Amino acid sequence: MDLTVADAVLFAGVVTAAATDLRDRRIPNLLTGSLIGLGIVIHIILGAYWLPIVGILVAFALHFALFALQVERPGDGKLMIGVGALAGWSTMLETTLWSFILLVPVGLFILAVRGRLGNLWETLKFAVRKALRYPVAPPEEQTYMAFAPVIACATFVARFTDWLYLWGP
């Protein structure tokens, strides 16, 4: 696979998003907006006018629904719109699928490195007890899972493998 300018921008963007999400628990709008804008500009220069537009529209439709269902936070959805703008709809969908596949292993790794697995266990016990309608107090501390590192890993896997190559380039 030949790497393009759009790939370089995409990789730099998702790595930066992962770092800021881990550090600040947010992905800056300036970053996601820049990825979307650069995706449009790069592909217009290359003559692929519809690639970023379709990527943006498909990413918005899918990730707005995931945001509305409270599956992901707004920054994660905007980051995926940036992926759609830079890599197109098919890579964005593949990245989305890889994100869900990699969520558990990458998420557990991040929590282990941060020393938060015990807190996750307490949160899971609380959720089960609450679902069973036992009177329980919420855990003292919430376990936050940064999703941008998972998206970054999924982006690299989607671009460098053809394991889920379902839709074409």
> For 109-149, how does the pLDDT look when each residue is reduced to its tens digit (9 = 90+)?
888 888 877 777 888 888 888 888 888 887 777 667 889 99
pLDDT at 54 > cutoff 90: yes
What secondary structure does DSSP assign to 71-126, as a single string? SS-HHHHHHHHHHHHHH-HHHHHHHHHHHHHHHHHHHHHHHHHTT-HHHHHHHHHH
Looking at residue 117, what is its pLDDT? Answer: 78
**What pLDDT does residue 169 have?**
52
- Which whole-number Å values give the CA distances from 131 to 18, 121, 138, 145, 167, in the listed order? 32, 15, 12, 21, 39
